[in-house]
Structure 1
Amino acid sequence: IGEGRTATLLEQQRPNVFQMTVGNIHPGDRIKVELGYTELVNSEEKIYEFVYPTVVGPRYSGESGSQESSWVKNPYLHQSQPPTYKFGIDVTLSGGMPLKSVQCPSHDADIKYQDQNTAHIRLAEHDAYDGNRDFILRYRLAGESVEPGVLIHRGTDENFFLMMLQPPERIRTATRVQREFIFIVDVSGSMSGFPLETAKKLLTDLIGNLQTGDIFNVLLFAAGSHLMSEKSVPANPQNIARAIRVIGNESGGGGTNMLAALSRALALPGDEDGSRTIVIVTDGYVAIESEAFSLVRRNLGRANMFAFGIGTSVNRHLIEGIAVAGMGESFVVTDPAEADGMAAKFRKYISTPILTNITYKSSGFEIYDVEPAGIPDVLADRPIMLFGKWRGNRPGQIRIEGILGSGERYKREIDLSLSTDGNENSGLRYLWARDRIRMQELFENNGQDKRIQEEILNLGIKYNLLTKYTSFVGVDSEIRTSGGKQVQVYQPLPLPSGVSNLAIAGGKGVRTRGTVMFMKDPDSPRKLNIESQNEKAEDTTDSTTLRINEINVDPEIAEFSVKEQIGGWFYQLQSCPIPNAIKGRSARIVVTFSIDSTGHVLNLVINGAGGMEKYLRSVIQEWKFSNLPPVSKAIRVSWKIDIK
């Protein structure tokens, strides 16, 4: 860059967070960036899910002693500010067999079928500024039976294989030991509003459905932590009601000291003969992933670890990593309407394992560098997967053995020699290397283990992969700038959908904003000052607030979905400034509107709002309802809001 050449640097900050820096860009330049990656789309309950993250949520770094967290300080736009860029995505889905269904629950998408095996998915034009939440695509294949899947690739110096085996059916058993559940709940600033309200709904279901004989405890954390009881209590109606009250009183605020909360939960005394399960509920907006994984891994055997990610753009690296390190499962709840289903799925997982004590052995050929090194217990209806390398003239067989939930032995042999090898399987080498790197990074202890650091570096160089120790650099041969002042440009990110301003800088009322600069010509930089950095907001705290009184929906079939979504968005209205004439008084606002077939709000009428009407109208008109049942007419909503 100092030589006047256009240059770019692509770095990995986390396995799912990448940062690109581009230098010597002139006004009017059009920069096109193409990135390629290989990903294995797995299935659960025979549903495949592809997730494309669109934005990185703000991270709280107060617990991290690392010096590599400059990316965490990236500026963010304010809540409800649209992104400064457009987002579009086109997907060609080729299932290899007939597609039974295709769904995009995160965005309004146009889905068209080319034939029975292929579908094209494109984001609707009015969603062009919705790059503030994960793009999620789910699909099912026709036919309920899933045959073993085997892919092989014969390379010039290494051969690779991938084996996927559908587990046996879950077997119920009446044998139970005492179960203990520790619920760790994030009530920090980034959870304020939609995420925390969704978490409350989820936890009400999880705790409310504990069984007689179970014991449990609740640990709330933000900058500090609060334990409901010094030791776990029986899951009786009185204790369940108390726990739900404790969680329900939280509104969210402060930093996110997750490590301290995890350490406290893991240190709680327990029954050695019982079964302890730790459930952590968070958006994952922290920068201490490696430390958390190491902590969980060091305590492996003390408890099974389940992680629930709450929000539209959660830190999946943390959520999934905690589950892998703790030999548990991960869940992501992106919408309040999903809370009941996720809670039911969790109860299903912990009822009885599908398969335990799993081992594998090859015959007829040699396999090595297999990932995972040990197969964890199978709790979900998800294929057993093995990546690895093989030697020999041709691949042979792999035998899988384990113990069913009933106690019976399970055996299955897969013949890899029946699989065909083609160039389309060349991605196996990248999938294997990426999975090996992922497991190494999980337990690297933030760069302290030099042996693992060197292995990650060597894997990145050998397989041409981006890692935390390898970067991609591009330098143009042409010298484009001679002299002049170089000006740095900060590109602010939008806050993920549903995340409030309290998430920024990890504290209530503290906003971090960026300074955007652009170059008119090399010698005359101009500066556009968006807002000053780290400016404290005025304290507008007042006891007067808005509360939902009653929501009526016609037709009744749409009532549940509409109420759930209004409840998830209501925090946006609670940010409305209360006029001095109303403060300290009680009043009622009546809102009526229609919802058309695309989910948009029409015919909005607001009565009794006084000076608040303009703000309320600007917010409600932007709402877009989704997952509505098919109805023959517009949905009518009549809604009463109390001011107290």
Structure 2
Amino acid sequence: MREFFSPAPVERGMKKWIFALLLAGLRLPAAGLLLLQEPSDPSPLLPPGRVPDPPPRIAPMPRPVPPRMPLQPIETTRLAAEVVIRDQVATVAVEQEVHNPNGTVCEGTFLLPVPRGAHLDGFSLRINGKPVEAELLGAEKARRVYEEIVRRSLDPALLEYMGRDLIKVRIYPIDPGSTRQLSLRYTQLLAEEAGLVQWTLPLRAEAPGARPIPSLSVHVQFESTLPLGTLYSPSHAVTLARRDDRHAALSFEASGFQPDADLSVLFSRTRADVGIDLLTHRPEAGEDGYFLLLAAPRLATASESATPKDVVFVLDSSGSMSGPKLEQAKRALRFCVENLNERDRFDILRFSTDVEPLFQQLREATPSSREEAFRFLARVRPTGGTAIHEALTQALASRPANSDRSFVIVFLTDGRPTVGITDENQIAQVVTGRGGAERDSLTRVFCFGIGTDVNTHLLDRITESTRAASAYVLANEDIEVKVSAFFARIKDPALVGLELVPPAGIRFTRLYPHPLPDLYKGQQILVAGRYSGQGRDPIRITGRLEGQAREFSREVSFPDVSTANDFLPRLWATRRVGHLLDEIRLRGESQELRDEVVALARQYAIVTPYTAYLVTEDEAR
């Protein structure tokens, strides 16, 4: 007899049996539940005490939220500059009005370029309709006070040092749709080169899409002790008016001005052959005075042809130089080779992982050797690492023994040493070590750094030790223009080994620059320093030109008391501080150097990495 069972009772019986076994073998927590799943279900049993997750809920559709509009940059609505240029000293007062186009309170941060060689005289912010002057504080204290005042919603402004040619200004608050006015004053010493003096007002905005300035005005007054010659602007259409041969005025006004170029002005003055000018300031008798010497002696050579020199061009062709950088550098070197004098000798070293010379020794700049150089440059391709040590070693070894020619190395690189010896001190030792170029009065190593990954510390050490100079070009700048302009300046012979000899009874101390650099044809030397003693006698500049001793002199007066030129103390202090900051950067910070920087900065109100200008409302002072 066959028995048939319905499926449902069988399944229920099996479930009860399994359930009973589980109950017998498990101790359940008081509040626990045990869920039994079908044996065919591969999911594991939940542990004791676990409450099953509720079934998933379907979230409601989110409510649409309007996107937050990005903040617009703070705009410059008015820029006005009032300038007085007395001989070669420019006093500049800039007023800038900024506007907040946003619907919320903003803090404005501005990076303001200050021309090289300028020193800041003052900074103020207009609060409640009145200009409030800044005070100089320690950088950390100024920053702390500024941030405390911001939290109290008062009106501070902070001006900080960002580099030798850049300052940062922070202003708070700038209310929605409102404007704030700030003022900046600085004094700048202008250099003369090839008989021309250049003054530049930084206007170009580096930010892409910079908006036009609704109102721009620049007024410049010229006052000269010598007759004014050429006076023009190569950058903008300015208005000129000459009152007499020693006084002139220049103006430039525009609406909707697009800040795509700096305003540049060139002028010349008629001077004597020797061209030595002296400015002094000594407010109290018995105290050391301040002086500024400006000299541009005419370097006429004995022969009609230029004095021959030896030049080695060293070109970095590592992989990081690929693209426009290498092509611009090659064109710049082509310009330099084309502009060598007939009796000059030269060579080109290409370096990356290895070093490849064009010639095995210096060769005269004949038409055939120049053509060979052009073909060599055309073949250069970017590849490999950066063997700076080996490149410098071979370049210095190129100089013939016992040569009395000036020996110039033009070194172009965009990176840091990555191949061979990479230690900075060992590389610098090639130039500065015993028997190196530092002890050679005729060797100069000029360095050009390209891009933002350059070891500026190393390049500056090299150029400083050889009385040369270094220059740096950003990746988006034209390398060809800078290198070509530099080589055009040093094309003609230099007065080397310069010494400044004071008049009898006068003693000079703390001269800057020190040591004095070479003086190339058409250039001017500017020396700031302290002096003691008094009298009127010739001051002398000595050096060597074409291997022959040369001397230039002019009778000048160092007075016991002089209240004129009251800008000289701060100008000298700015150069002294710059020298100390270079020492800190190149050789490391010491307490003695830091203390002197801070003391000079406080005494002469100079913005440094250790000091800053702070503007506050009266109740916050």
- Partner residue of 2:313? 182
Give the AA of the match of 2:530.
K
For residues 289-339 of structure 1, give each alpha carbon's deviation from its aligned partner in whole angstroms, at most 9, with x where no partner exists: x9999887776346303356999xxx9999999866542367899797898
Give 2:393's match in structure 1, choosing from 234, 246, 267: 267
Q: Does 1:15 align with 2:164?
A: yes
Question: SS at the partner of 1:431?
Answer: helix
Question: SS at the partner of 2:520?
Answer: coil
Give 1:328's match in structure 2, choosing from 455, 464, 468: 468
- Partner residue of 2:489? 345
Structure 1 240/338 Cα, relative in aligned 2: closer, same or farther at 3 Å? same
Structure 2 gap ranges (5+):
1-146, 417-423
State whether residues 152 and 420 of structure 1, in contact with CA within 8 Å, keep that contact through their aligned partners in structure 2: no
State whether residues 198 and 310 of structure 1, in contact with CA within 8 Å, keep that contact through their aligned partners in structure 2: no
How many residues are matched? 438
Give the AA of the match of 2:314.
F
Work out the percentage of aligned pairs sharing the same amino acid: 20
For 1:449 and 1:338, how far apart are their aligned partners in 2? 32
Structure 1 120/56 Cα, relative in aligned 2: closer, same or farther at 3 Å? closer
Give 1:83's match in structure 2, choosing from 204, 210, 215: 210
- Partner residue of 2:613? 472
- Partner residue of 1:48? 197
Question: SS at the partner of 1:34?
Answer: strand
- Partner residue of 2:409? 278
For 2:438 and 2:516, how far apart are their aligned partners in 1? 15
- Partner residue of 1:458? 599
- Partner residue of 1:206? 336
From the two aligned structures, give the one with the greater strand fraction: 2
Q: Following superposition of structure 1 onto structure 2, how do residues 133-282 of structure 1 map, counting pairs within 5 Å?
A: 133-142=261-270, 145=273, 147-156=275-284, 158-172=288-302, 179-184=310-315, 199-210=329-340, 211=342, 214-219=345-350, 227=356, 234=363, 240-241=370-371, 243-245=373-375, 247-248=377-378, 263-268=389-394, 269-271=397-399, 272-274=401-403, 275-280=406-411
For 1:416 and 1:154, how far apart are their aligned partners in 2? 12
For 1:51 and 1:19, how far apart are their aligned partners in 2? 20
- Cα displacement (A) at 1:418: 7.5
- Partner residue of 1:582? none
- Cα displacement (A) at 1:464: 1.1
Q: Following superposition of structure 1 onto structure 2, how do residues 453-532 of structure 1 map, counting pairs within 5 Å?
A: 453-477=594-618
Question: SS at the partner of 1:363?
Answer: coil
- RMSD of aligned alpha carbons: 4.8
State whether residues 317 and 381 of structure 2, in contact with CA within 8 Å, keep that contact through their aligned partners in structure 1: no
For 1:25 and 1:321, how far apart are their aligned partners in 2? 44
State whether residues 92 and 121 of structure 1, in contact with CA within 8 Å, keep that contact through their aligned partners in structure 2: yes
Q: Does 1:300 align with 2:447?
A: no
When normalised by structure 1's length, the TM-score is 0.56
Question: SS at the partner of 1:445?
Answer: helix
For 1:437 and 1:244, how far apart are their aligned partners in 2? 45
Give the AA of the match of 2:345.
D
Q: Does 1:102 align with 2:225?
A: no
Structure 1 321/11 Cα, relative in aligned 2: closer, same or farther at 3 Å? farther
Give 1:444's match in structure 2, choosing from 572, 584, 595: 584
Q: Following superposition of structure 1 onto structure 2, how do residues 98-137 of structure 1 map, counting pairs within 5 Å?
A: 98-105=227-234, 107-116=235-244, 117-122=247-252, 124-125=254-255, 127-130=257-260, 133-137=261-265
Give the AA of the match of 1:267.
T
State whether residues 364 and 396 of structure 1, in contact with CA within 8 Å, keep that contact through their aligned partners in structure 2: no
- Cα displacement (A) at 1:399: 3.6
State whether residues 510 and 529 of structure 2, in contact with CA within 8 Å, keep that contact through their aligned partners in structure 1: yes
For 1:122 and 1:325, how far apart are their aligned partners in 2? 43
For 2:414 and 2:211, how far apart are their aligned partners in 1? 24
Structure of higher CA gyration radius = 2
For 1:414 and 1:23, how far apart are their aligned partners in 2? 54
Give 1:401's match in structure 2, choosing from 535, 542, 547: 542
Give the AA of the match of 2:542.
E
State whether residues 489 and 520 of structure 2, in contact with CA within 8 Å, keep that contact through their aligned partners in structure 1: no
State whether residues 51 and 134 of structure 1, in contact with CA within 8 Å, keep that contact through their aligned partners in structure 2: yes
For 2:569 and 2:425, how far apart are their aligned partners in 1? 29
Question: SS at the partner of 2:543?
Answer: strand
Give the AA of the match of 1:379.
Y
State whether residues 397 and 417 of structure 1, in contact with CA within 8 Å, keep that contact through their aligned partners in structure 2: no
Question: SS at the partner of 1:454?
Answer: helix
For 2:485 and 2:209, how far apart are their aligned partners in 1? 31
State whether residues 310 and 362 of structure 2, in contact with CA within 8 Å, keep that contact through their aligned partners in structure 1: no
Structure 1 147/447 Cα, relative in aligned 2: closer, same or farther at 3 Å? closer
Structure 1 47/206 Cα, relative in aligned 2: closer, same or farther at 3 Å? same
- Cα displacement (A) at 1:101: 1.7
Structure 1 51/229 Cα, relative in aligned 2: closer, same or farther at 3 Å? same
Give the AA of the match of 2:241.
Y
Question: SS at the partner of 2:438?
Answer: coil
- Partner residue of 2:98? none
Q: Does 1:429 align with 2:569?
A: yes
Structure 1 422/109 Cα, relative in aligned 2: closer, same or farther at 3 Å? farther
Range that drifts further, 43-52 or 379-388: 379-388
Between 1 and 2, higher relative CO (CA 8 Å, sep ≥ 6) is seen in 1
- Cα displacement (A) at 1:472: 1.5
For 2:256 and 2:380, how far apart are their aligned partners in 1? 35
Structure 1 385/175 Cα, relative in aligned 2: closer, same or farther at 3 Å? closer
State whether residues 10 and 20 of structure 1, in contact with CA within 8 Å, keep that contact through their aligned partners in structure 2: yes
State whether residues 540 and 551 of structure 2, in contact with CA within 8 Å, keep that contact through their aligned partners in structure 1: no
- Partner residue of 2:495? 354
For 2:242 and 2:411, how far apart are their aligned partners in 1? 42
